[in-house]
Structure 1
Amino acid sequence: MSSSRKQQHFKGAEVSCCVKYFLFGFNIIFWLLGASFLGIGLWAWAEKGVLSNMASITDMGGFDPVWLFIVVGGVMFILGFAGCIGALRENTFLLKFFSVFLGLIFFLELTAGILAFVFKDWIKDQLNFFINNNVMAYRDDIDLQNLIDFTQEYWSCCGAHGPNDWNLNIYFNCTDFNPSRERCGVPFSCCVKDPAEDVLNTQCGYDVRLKVELDQQKSIYTKGCVGQFERWLQDNLIIVAGLFVGIALLQIFGICLAQNLVTDVKAVKANW
């Protein structure tokens, strides 16, 4: 009788090895991706001399794309580290931190999605303001410049609402006292690419806004990036929605695994 009781005791609650190591593997990938993003961000800052002069951050007029790598990488690194150590050491505090923080991010994403749908006109105005603000700072940061060029090339657009938005930039504005050679022009990324040209013509946008609109359409994109972005969203709505749903499911899956492991650990400790 005593031996059967001992057998029942040892067959009690136990931590699931599958859940434990699956959660560990899930987070090790998360952690490595975060470390990579963070490393890229810090390397880019080092190349621009920001790490040696942190005060230069406040001098940047527009959005620095490196911030995206640093913030996203930092959050992923912390969460992945907490999830890895929590799963491996069966630490309920780290597992709870991981699941609560991941749940908070999921809630913020859900709230942002609802607000974006409800206040879409306000979002459109903010996007317009964001693009124009970065048009003004186009030459201030090489990463920002590359981001704007990529956006205009990818969406075949120029400026927030059209080429004349480049009047906001001191190098491209059409004022009489502007000494820049790029006066009344647009960046090369606004130019309609000629398939016959093998070498990129970076001067293709010079003086183009001195022409009438019909002549402009032959050499540059005349549609704004805000409108082109809206059309792109409409054309790729299923893909964008699927991406967000996939990310949400991964987050819910991670939270469920962590909570399941916390329950198992508590059950084992309760039997001690």
Structure 2
Amino acid sequence: MQLSLAPKTIKYLMFAFNLFFVITGIVLLSIGLIIHGMFYKYQHFLDNSFLSVPSLLVAIGSIIFIIAFFGCCGAIRESHCMIVTFCTLLVAIFILELIGGTMGYVMRSRVAKVAQDKMFETMSKYNDSEEIQFVWDNLQRDFDCCGTNNASDWLKLDKPLPGIPMSCCYATVGAVGISNCTLESTGLHHKGCMQEFADFAKKHAAKIVGVGLTLGVIQLIGIFLSSYLAKSIRNSYETM
């Protein structure tokens, strides 16, 4: 027995939804990779939780392709089992997205404190590690900032440096190490890096929250459509 008109309409709407669902998976995967790359560049100033959230987005984006397969095949073949599987996986993804969105929101409130602690911890290693020197020089050039709260932080360390990193001054952009950049230099970056970096991280954490909420709405539509279609298929079997 064929399905009635309404369930057939739902079936093709669901197929179209799955195509859109695949596109959202690609977007989710791309955003996760981009944000992960941005955070990874400054991983010395963040804890592992800040990298785990964009990694979760990448994982969800990848899994979506598998889920969409069940949804498309189930809708076209009118397979009750595949539709139920699709609906169940959608619920799981919806939960993961809520977790990702919640973690992104929590990150926004913690980023300033975490960044401050990590920055003070790594500043004293500037002369001892080329990696730390590279990261700090990039940070100070990228954000036009100097030190954690301000440039004087470089002169207040437990292991004071002989001067201020050259990357703190506009006149020495591209240079590394300690040289003639001082608190009196006209090209000195007066802004501290902690607040500038915190604003940067908060902005991208907000994107994670926004993506999670937007896709959550899409998931709810998919759950409704798949549940309705599964019910229609089951009813058609019972009346045969």
Q: Place the TM-score, normalised by the shorter chain, in its bin.
A: 0.5 to 0.7
Match of 2:65 in 1: 81
Aligned equivalent of 1:109, options 98, 101, 114:
101
Describe the shift of the 1:251–1:61 C-alpha distance in structure 2 as closer, same or farther (beyond 3 A).
closer
Work out the CA distance in 1 between the residues paired with 2:96 and 2:89. 10
8 A contact 2:28–2:211 mirrored in 1: no
Describe the shift of the 1:76–1:11 C-alpha distance in structure 2 as closer, same or farther (beyond 3 A).
closer
Q: CA deviation at 1:62?
A: 6.5
Structure 1 residue runs without a partner (length 5+): 1-5, 46-59, 176-182, 195-199
Structure 2 residue runs without a partner (length 5+): 75-81
Aligned equivalent of 2:170, options 167, 189, 192:
192
Match of 2:91 in 1: 99
State the TM-score, normalized to the length of structure 2.
0.62
1:126 aligns with 2:121: no
| Residues 14-33 of structure 1 aligned to structure 2 (within 5 Å) | 14=8, 15-31=10-26
| Residues 1-272 of structure 1 aligned to structure 2 (within 5 Å) | 10-11=4-5, 13-14=7-8, 15-31=10-26, 34=29, 71-72=55-56, 74-90=58-74, 91=82, 92-110=84-102, 113=105, 120=109, 124-135=112-123, 139=129, 141=131, 145=134, 148-149=136-137, 151-166=139-154, 174=160, 183-188=162-167, 190-193=168-171, 200-203=173-176, 206-208=179-181, 211=182, 213=183, 215-216=184-185, 218-228=186-196, 246-270=210-234, 271-272=236-237
Would you tell me which structure has more helix in proportion to its own residues?
2
State the TM-score, normalized to the length of structure 1.
0.56
Describe the shift of the 1:266–1:201 C-alpha distance in structure 2 as closer, same or farther (beyond 3 A).
closer
8 A contact 1:20–1:88 mirrored in 2: yes
Describe the shift of the 1:34–1:241 C-alpha distance in structure 2 as closer, same or farther (beyond 3 A).
closer
8 A contact 2:24–2:215 mirrored in 1: no
Work out the CA distance in 2 between the residues paired with 1:19 and 1:137. 56
Q: CA deviation at 1:259?
A: 0.5
Work out the CA distance in 1 between the residues paired with 2:104 and 2:191. 28
Letter in 1 for 2:117: F
Work out the CA distance in 1 between the residues paired with 2:219 and 2:13. 15
Determine what percentage of the aligned residue pairs are the same residue. 13
**SS of residue matched to 1:222:** coil
Letter in 1 for 2:70: G
Q: CA deviation at 1:158?
A: 1.3
Residue-pair matches, total: 219
Q: CA deviation at 1:64?
A: 9.3
Letter in 1 for 2:179: Y
Describe the shift of the 1:35–1:88 C-alpha distance in structure 2 as closer, same or farther (beyond 3 A).
farther
